[in-house]
Amino acid sequence: MAAAVVGGSFYILWPVVACVLGGVFLKMWPGQRITWAWTVSTAVFGFLLAAYLVYEWLPLLGGTFSGTAAIASVVFFVFAALHAFLFYLGFTPVKLTSEQS
C-alpha cells in the first residue's frame, strides 16, 4: 500500500483500495452477499494480476536479470496459487453450526 501511495497513481492505488475494502467487508459483514461477491472478485483480480506478472517475468530468465526474474516469477506464482485457492474457497459452501441456524 505504501508503494501505491508514494506512486500517487490512481491505477496503482485502486486495486489496493479494493483489497482493503474487501478485508473490511469480511470483518464487518462476513455472511453478507456483497462480502462474498467482493472477496471472490478480489481473488480473481489477484489471480489474474499475479499470473500476468509471472508471464511478464518469465522471458527475463535468460538475460541480465535472471536472478531477479527467477525470484519474482516464483513469488508471483505463489501469489497466483494463493488467489486461486481463495477463489476456490469463495465457492465452497459454508457449514452452519448449531449456533448459526
Q: What is the pLDDT of residue 11?
A: 62
Look up the pTM and report it. 0.62
Q: What is the pLDDT of residues 32-68, one digit of tens each?
A: 777 777 777 777 887 888 888 889 888 888 888 888 8
Query: CB under 8 Å to 81, separation ≥6 — which residues?
Result: none
pLDDT of 72 above 70: yes
Contact 43, 87 (CB under 8 A): yes
Cell numbers for 70:
527467477
Contact 55, 32 (CB under 8 A): no
Cell numbers for 6:
508514494
pLDDT of 96 above 60: no
Residue 21, Cβ neighbours under 10 Å: how many?
12
